[in-house]
Amino acid sequence: MRTIYWDSGQDEVHLIDQRLLPGELHYLALRDYREVADAIRQMAIRGAPAIGAAAAFGLALAARRSRATAREALLHDLQQAAGVLRQSRPTAVNLGWALQRTLKVAEETEGGADELRAAVLDEALRIAEEDVAINKRMAEHGAALIDDGDTVIHHCNTGSLAAVDWGTALGVLRMAHEQGKRIHVLVDETRPRLQGARLTAWELEQYGIPYAIISDGAAGYFLSTGQAHKVIFGADRVAANGDVANKIGTYMLALAANDNQAPAYAVVPTSTIDLSLAEGKQIPIEEREPGEVLNIQVGGQAVIPAGATARNPAFDITPHRLVTAIVTENGIARPPYSSSLRAAVAGKLAG
């Protein structure tokens, strides 16, 4: 299941509108980079790898729609489009990574504007295809950490919907299932946008993997009573020391796992590892509008007093001391992360 793809006949980007799931599977057709930025900002598409691919396709749209006939004019338009796309979600490093990589190709391509347009689209397509292959390699590495009979708590959504295809942490569970391991997944609802209850549960239905939805606050109970054995999640950015920025609630989940001697695994492509940041407190944390927290209804009635205020950070930082291992496409990084993550990024991770 492709979350995002390029329609060469129409020169459009098509992506699943995740806001409509699980009720409706609908693809948006986007023709302008500003529409891509809006789709990212409004979380029609989400998940660090998927956002990276969307950003690259956004630049391809900018190149296609630009009226520039000269090379330098087109490069200027691409830089302007990249600025708009970069502001759509500040925490996920894949977005900036994909923009930087695609712009570098454009700048190094010889020829005129038409050659640049072709090069930008080729690079976006390459990023998308690489993402699928990377996710499958991560799944193979990570599946070795999952035992037959495991019950695993999964936070947020990290499946095909969060990538171009296959997924990160959920991809690991999918691979373990396809290997014949009998696993059960406890799906954190993941408030306030319910990516677990809406999206992860929907994906598990497609794969035929047994699951049950739990409230975020129930994870500690299942870990403390031995009904859950492991915890797994993705990441939007990982600092050089192994601190993990992920969907809000990950920190509390990792704390509960640590207190009950249950391993907590992060699954990330190396493009999500930001070696330029020494530690997690340097990662910018997006705070979204409070309506996502306040606009809750039960039985058609509001449950929060009129005039109430809210805070709505989209991510939190899980310290590296709470992370048992970080699965990448180049292998499994373990403490000390200051050396193992650099080895993973360089493709020189041993074991």
Q: 């990249």: which residue's tokens? A: 82
Rounded to 10 degrees, what is the CA torsion of 87, 90, 92, 96?
Answer: 50
Tens-place pLDDT, residues 204-228? 999 999 999 999 999 999 999 999 9
Secondary structure (3-state) at 333: strand
Q: Yes or no: say if 345 and 270 are a contact pair by the CB < 8 Å rule.
A: yes
Domains and CATH numbers, the chain: 4-135 (1.20.120.420), 141-346 (3.40.50.10470)
pLDDT mean across residues, the chain: 96
Question: What is the rounded distance in angstroms from the CA atom of residue 81 to the CA atom of residue 25?
Answer: 29
Tens-place pLDDT, residues 24-50? 999 999 999 999 999 999 999 999 899
pLDDT given for residue 351 in this prediction: 57
- Among residues of the chain, what percentage have pLDDT more than 70? 100
Tens-place pLDDT, residues 307-324? 999 999 999 999 999 999
pLDDT given for residue 59 in this prediction: 97
Residues carrying an active site annotation: 236
Tens-place pLDDT, residues 273-283? 999 999 999 99
Residue range 239-264: mean pLDDT, rounded: 98
Q: What is the CA radius of gyration of the chain?
A: 20
Tens-place pLDDT, residues 61-74? 999 999 999 999 99
Tens-place pLDDT, residues 95-111? 999 999 999 999 999 99
Q: How many C-beta neighbours within 10 Å does residue 82 have?
A: 23
pLDDT given for residue 1 in this prediction: 80
Quick one: which H or E segment has residue 128?
helix 113-143
Task: Inform me whether the pLDDT recorded for 92 exceeds 80.
Answer: no
Tens-place pLDDT, residues 101-143? 999 999 999 999 999 999 999 999 999 999 999 999 999 999 9
**Confidence class for position 350, pLDDT limits 50, 70, 90:** confident
Task: Inform me whether the pLDDT recorded for 15 exceeds 70.
Answer: yes
- Among residues of the chain, what percentage have pLDDT more than 90? 95
Task: Inform me whether the pLDDT recorded for 163 exceeds 70.
Answer: yes
Residue range 244-269: mean pLDDT, rounded: 98
pLDDT given for residue 91 in this prediction: 79
